[in-house]
């Protein structure tokens, strides 16, 4: 039994539920947590929820476009995480905090 | 041919600031001279070449194309255009040359030549365009250049006002022209001369009323440009510009654009006797009125300006009588001697260091012999001294007026006679008698440099022999009527002539004609003797303006026409615009504009509270925004 069949045994609706839950967890984490590291992790979680959905639909439809998209998103996500963490390190060096609610220097 | 002056304009306009002064002058002159040479070559091809050709047509590109409405940027070099082109470029060259010396100490010299070149370009477009829209293009262009050149010394407020006046007056005429063009297009479905005239001729829209309306509207345009009643007052004021400009624009070329328009539209005018009658009477009234005003002017250039208006009136009389050749003939000779007179007066003004009042002159003939001599020739030519150019052209107009209506002849003769009075008055007061200026010593008066006298000499020769263009037939059939043949020649039926209808044939016996000539000459002699007696023998000097009485006072105030216009049009308009400024501009518009600004400011103050710098809030806004977008997409 090939790997593809294992995936196909799980119904598409389960993938949708799972990715929705993951996305919601990520979203709420972004909205309500203050620690910048957790914020980044939550963003990552949202991205991967989307990735999951892409892959699921790609398999379901028998179309490889979605999987190609996933690779692009992963590249972007990696770059974003690298830049975000670099910023975070600098912020921490300057303020000794990782709490984003103190970062309000840019108000209009 | 056309684009040489444009090149001159561009080069002078852009680079002129960094060029040596003499270079920009010579460059401007050279471009116009080049055009002249090309025009002569084309003219040779046109008139001398075999096989004969009607016109040289060149289509450059499509100017406008809207739906099925096409106008080409095309040129038509036919016999009428050829004559006009030769005048414009020929005299233009001389005037450019003259300006080099006249304007040599002016800081804006390059600008001056740029404007002059632009003017020549536009004038060429006007006479060479092959359709009415091209004519309109050039028409507006020369109006603009005239404005720029009159107001050339823009630091003087009065000059600026004169320029504005000229522009506004021209706009009124332009409106008439524009409406005429619309009517032409509406009736004949084309702007192309040849197409329009073909249709007029075969009479597809055979309605006298429409043709009359077109003719009258076009004539309103001509009134504005050629300074006829009631739009003539701008021309004397336009003398504020530098003298070469007066010579170029306001004597030799631009003002004849109206004449050109009427001759060009001969096919339309021929179908409307009523419109022609109007043209004639307006010309007549203008001619006499301007001549009368000219009698009492003391500014050397103003006299010439009113003389120009008067001569233009004579040309319109000829047009109204259907004597198109006579009108064009007078355009040519007038261009010669009026340019000569203006340049001569410029030479006087130059020699007197910008003194223009003839009462402050006198006895200048000893100091300025060349100017004196050429000015004399110009004066004789304009007043109709036998066998000078003005004699032939003016008499042709008079003869055509006589065959049309003896009353018109009488009035035109009076007008021509008055010309003699005011010209000789000015001439004697300026050059004879004793020197009267106490501010500026006589010794300092000097003759102008060669660069200025040379054009004078050339123009003087032309003024003398210019009549040869169209000699009257009593001098012999073989040599007479050159211009007439040129215009009405139809190539043995091979192409359409410029004048589609046979001209008003002058059927006068030689004795009658010579009788008319004798009358004209006698008027000339009377004028000469009277003014000579008054200003040379008795040494009278025109009175100061304040001492004028009765009719003289009315005349020196130009019939109070300016004042009447002020009361009738300018004052109400100014009042209206004041009201508008006060109520509409300051109250309504200003508060509206301010309100927008204040509202925006308040709103942004409110909104700036949202931007508090905290990332958490931003994230919430973002999520709300995305949710809204999604909701908007889904439902």
DSSP per position, B233-247? THHHHGGGS-HHHHH
pLDDT at B52: 52
Task: Tally Cβ neighbours within 10 Å of residue B543.
Answer: 15
Q: Does A73 touch chain B (CB under 8 A)?
A: no
Q: Which residues of B touch A30 (CB under 8 A)?
A: 619
Q: What DSSP string runs through B413-459?
A: HHHHHHHHHHHHHHHHHHHSS----SSS-GGG--PPPHHHHHHHHHH
Share of chain A above pLDDT 70, in %: 88
B227 contacts B234 by C-beta, under 8 angstroms: yes
pLDDT at B235: 80
């999520």: which residue's tokens?
B623
Q: Does B616 touch chain A (CB under 8 A)?
A: yes
Q: Does A31 touch chain B (CB under 8 A)?
A: yes
Q: pLDDT tens, B229-254?
A: 777 778 877 777 788 888 777 777 78
Nearest CA in chain B to A24: B623
Q: Is pLDDT at B205 greater than 60 in this prediction?
A: no
From the CA of A41, how many Å to the nearest CA of chain B?
A: 15
Asked if the Cβ–Cβ distance from A107 to B611 is below 8 Å, we say: yes
User: So what's the ipTM on this one?
Assistant: 0.73
pLDDT at A76: 92
Q: Does A37 touch chain B (CB under 8 A)?
A: no
From the CA of A81, how many Å to the nearest CA of chain B?
A: 17
| Minimal Cβ distance to B619: which of A30, A106, A107 | A30
pLDDT at A86: 93
Picking from A55-69, B136-150, B289-303, B469-483, which range would have the lowest pLDDT averaged per residue? B469-483
B222 contacts B126 by C-beta, under 8 angstroms: no
Q: Which residues of B touch A31 (CB under 8 A)?
A: 616, 619-620, 623
Task: Classify B558 in phi/psi space as left (phi over 0), alpha (psi -120 to 50) or beta.
Answer: left
In 3-state terms chain B splits into helix, strand, coil percentages (rounded to 5) of 75, 5, 20
pLDDT at B616: 77
Q: Does A107 touch chain B (CB under 8 A)?
A: yes
Q: Is pLDDT at B419 greater than 60 in this prediction?
A: yes
From the CA of A51, how many Å to the nearest CA of chain B?
A: 19
Q: Does A101 touch chain B (CB under 8 A)?
A: yes
pTM of the full predicted structure? 0.72
pLDDT grade, residue B50 (50/70/90)?
very low
pLDDT at B206: 59
pLDDT grade, residue A51 (50/70/90)?
very high
Share of chain B above pLDDT 90, in %: 1
B401 contacts B412 by C-beta, under 8 angstroms: yes
Q: Is pLDDT at B512 greater than 90 in this prediction?
A: no
Burial B396-420 (b: 16+ CB within 10 A, else e): bbbbbbbbbbeebbebbbbbbbbbb
Asked if the Cβ–Cβ distance from A103 to B613 is below 8 Å, we say: yes
Task: Classify A37 in phi/psi space as left (phi over 0), alpha (psi -120 to 50) or beta.
Answer: alpha
Picking from B53-62, B86-95, B190-199, B380-389, which range would have the lowest pLDDT averaged per residue? B53-62
Q: Is pLDDT at B15 greater than 70 in this prediction?
A: no
Q: pLDDT tens, B130-168?
A: 888 888 888 888 888 888 888 888 777 778 888 888 888
From the CA of A71, how many Å to the nearest CA of chain B?
A: 24
Q: Which residues of A touch B616 (CB under 8 A)?
A: 31, 34, 100-101
Task: Tally Cβ neighbours within 10 Å of residue B64.
Answer: 11
Q: Which residue has the higher pLDDT, A82 or B303?
A: A82
Mean pLDDT to the nearest integer, B544-569: 62
| Minimal Cβ distance to A31: which of B611, B612, B619 | B619
B448 contacts B377 by C-beta, under 8 angstroms: no
Mean pLDDT to the nearest integer, B460-467: 81
Q: Which residues of B touch A106 (CB under 8 A)?
A: 613
B251 contacts B279 by C-beta, under 8 angstroms: no
Question: Cα–Cα distance between B319 and B266 in angstroms, integer?
Answer: 9
Q: Which residues of B touch A88 (CB under 8 A)?
A: none
Mean pLDDT to the nearest integer, B260-267: 84
pLDDT grade, residue B481 (50/70/90)?
low
- List the 574-613 stretch of B: residues with Cβ below 8 A of A: 608, 611-613
Dihedral, CA of residue B540, residue B528, residue B338 and residue B161, to nearest 10: 30
Q: Which residues of A touch B621 (CB under 8 A)?
A: none
Q: Does A87 touch chain B (CB under 8 A)?
A: no
> Which of A32, A99, A107 is the best residue to mutate to test the B interface, defined by the most B CB atoms within 10 Å of its own CB?
A107
Q: Which residues of A touch B625 (CB under 8 A)?
A: none
pLDDT at B2: 62
Task: Tally Cβ neighbours within 10 Å of residue B267.
Answer: 20
Candidates B222, B286, B229; CA nearest to B259 is B222
Q: What is the mean pLDDT of chain B?
A: 77
Asked if the Cβ–Cβ distance from B616 to A108 is below 8 Å, we say: no
Q: Which residue has the higher pLDDT, B548 or A57?
A: A57
From the CA of A1, how many Å to the nearest CA of chain B?
A: 40
Q: Which residues of A touch B623 (CB under 8 A)?
A: 27, 31
The β-bridge relationship of strands B69-77 and B56-66 is antiparallel
Sketch out chain A's domains with CATH numbers: 3-99 (1.10.287.3510)
Q: Is pLDDT at B13 greater than 70 in this prediction?
A: no
Q: Is pLDDT at B554 greater than 70 in this prediction?
A: no
Asked if the Cβ–Cβ distance from A30 to B614 is below 8 Å, we say: no
Question: Cα–Cα distance between B525 and B519 in angstroms, integer?
Answer: 10
pLDDT grade, residue B545 (50/70/90)?
low
Q: Which residues of A touch B615 (CB under 8 A)?
A: 100-101, 103
Q: Which residues of A touch B612 (CB under 8 A)?
A: 104, 107-108
Cα dihedral sign, B477-B480-B481-B485: positive
């289509």: which residue's tokens?
B59
DSSP state of B531: H
Asked if the Cβ–Cβ distance from B619 to A104 is below 8 Å, we say: no
Asked if the Cβ–Cβ distance from B619 to A106 is below 8 Å, we say: no
Q: How many CB pairs under 8 A join A and B?
A: 29
Domain ranges across chain B: 272-556, 562-634
Asked if the Cβ–Cβ distance from B616 to A103 is below 8 Å, we say: no
Q: What is the mean pLDDT of chain A?
A: 85
B328 contacts B271 by C-beta, under 8 angstroms: no
Question: Cα–Cα distance between B364 and B478 in angstroms, integer?
Answer: 43
Q: Which residues of B touch A100 (CB under 8 A)?
A: 614-616
| Minimal Cβ distance to B612: which of A27, A34, A104 | A104
Candidates B180, B119, B162; CA nearest to B144 is B119
């Amino acid at each position: 039994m090939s790997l593809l069949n294992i995936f196909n045994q799980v119904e598409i609706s389960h993938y949708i539920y799972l990715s929705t839950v993951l996305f919601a967890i990520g979203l709420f984490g972004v909205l309500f947590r203050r620690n910048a590291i957790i914020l980044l992790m939550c963003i990552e979680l949202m991205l991967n929820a989307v990735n999951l959905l892409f892959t699921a639909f790609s398999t379901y439809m028998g179309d490889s476009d979605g999987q190609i998209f996933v690779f692009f998103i992963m590249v972007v996500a990696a770059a974003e995480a690298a830049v975000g963490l670099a910023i975070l390190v600098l912020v921490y060096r300057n303020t000794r905090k990782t709490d984003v609610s103190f970062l309000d220097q840019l108000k209009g | 041919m056309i684009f040489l002056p444009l090149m001159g304009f561009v080069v002078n306009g852009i680079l002129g600031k960094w060029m040596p002064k003499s270079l920009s002058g010579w460059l401007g002159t050279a471009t116009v001279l080049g055009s002249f040479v090309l025009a002569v070559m084309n003219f040779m091809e046109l008139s001398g070449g075999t096989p004969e050709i009607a016109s040289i047509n060149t289509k450059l590109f499509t100017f406008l194309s809207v739906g099925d409405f096409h106008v080409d940027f095309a040129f038509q070099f036919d016999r009428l255009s050829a004559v006009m082109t030769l005048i414009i470029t020929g005299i233009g060259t001389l005037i450019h040359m003259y300006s080099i010396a006249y304007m040599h100490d002016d800081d804006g010299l390059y600008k001056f030549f740029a404007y002059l070149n632009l003017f020549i370009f536009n004038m060429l477009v006007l006479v060479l365009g092959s359709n009415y829209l091209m004519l309109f293009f050039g028409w507006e262009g020369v109006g603009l250049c005239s404005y720029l050149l009159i107001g050339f010394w823009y630091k003087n407020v009065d000059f600026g006002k004169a320029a504005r006046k000229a522009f506004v007056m021209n706009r009124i005429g332009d409106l008439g022209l524009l409406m005429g063009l619309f009517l032409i297009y509406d009736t004949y479905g084309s702007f192309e001369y040849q197409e329009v005239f073909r249709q007029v001729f075969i009479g597809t829209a055979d309605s006298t009323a429409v043709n009359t309306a077109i003719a009258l509207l076009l004539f309103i345009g001509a009134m504005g440009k050629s300074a006829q009643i009631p739009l003539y007052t701008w021309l004397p004021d336009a003398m504020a510009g530098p003298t070469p400009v007066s010579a170029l624009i306001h004597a030799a070329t631009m003002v004849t654009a109206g004449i050109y328009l009427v001759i060009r539209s001969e096919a339309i005018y021929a179908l409307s006797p009523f419109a022609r009658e109007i043209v004639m009477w307006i010309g007549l009234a203008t001619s006499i009125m301007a001549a009368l005003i000219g009698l009492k002017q003391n500014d050397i250039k103003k006299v010439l300006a009113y003389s120009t208006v008067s001569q233009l009136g004579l040309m319109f009389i000829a047009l109204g009588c259907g004597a198109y050749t006579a009108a064009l003939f007078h355009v040519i000779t007038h261009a010669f001697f009026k340019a000569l007179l203006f340049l001569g007066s410029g030479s006087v003004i130059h020699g007197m260091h910008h003194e223009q009042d003839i009462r402050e002159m006198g006895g200048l003939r000893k100091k300025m012999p060349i100017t004196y001599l050429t000015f004399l020739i110009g004066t004789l030519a304009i007043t109709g001294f036998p066998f000078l150019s003005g004699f032939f052209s003016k008499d042709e107009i008079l003869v055509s007026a006589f065959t049309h209506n003896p009353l018109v002849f009488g009035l035109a003769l009076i007008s021509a006679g008055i010309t003699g009075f005011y010209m000789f008055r000015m001439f004697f007061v300026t050059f004879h008698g004793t020197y009267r200026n106490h501010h500026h010593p006589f010794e300092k008066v000097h003759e102008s440099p060669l660069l200025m006298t040379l054009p004078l000499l050339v123009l003087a020769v032309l003024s003398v022999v210019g009549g040869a263009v169209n000699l009257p037939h009593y001098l012999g059939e073989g040599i007479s009527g050159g211009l007439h043949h040129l215009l009405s020649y139809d190539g043995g039926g091979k192409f359409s002539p410029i004048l589609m209808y046979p001209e008003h044939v002058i059927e006068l016996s030689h004795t009658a004609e010579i009788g008319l000539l004798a009358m004209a000459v006698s008027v000339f002699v009377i004028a000469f003797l009277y003014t000579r007696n008054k200003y040379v023998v008795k040494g009278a000097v025109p009175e100061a303006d304040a001492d004028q009485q009765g009719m003289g006072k009315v005349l020196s105030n130009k019939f109070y026409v300016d004042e009447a216009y002020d009361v009738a049009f300018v004052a109400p308009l100014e009042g209206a615009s004041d009201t508008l400024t006060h109520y509409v501009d300051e109250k309504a518009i200003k508060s509206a504009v301010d309100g927008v600004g204040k509202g925006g400011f308040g709103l942004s103050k409110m909104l700036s509270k949202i931007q508090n710098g905290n990332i958490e809030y931003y994230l919430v806004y973002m999520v709300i925004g995305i949710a809204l977008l999604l909701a908007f997409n889904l439902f």
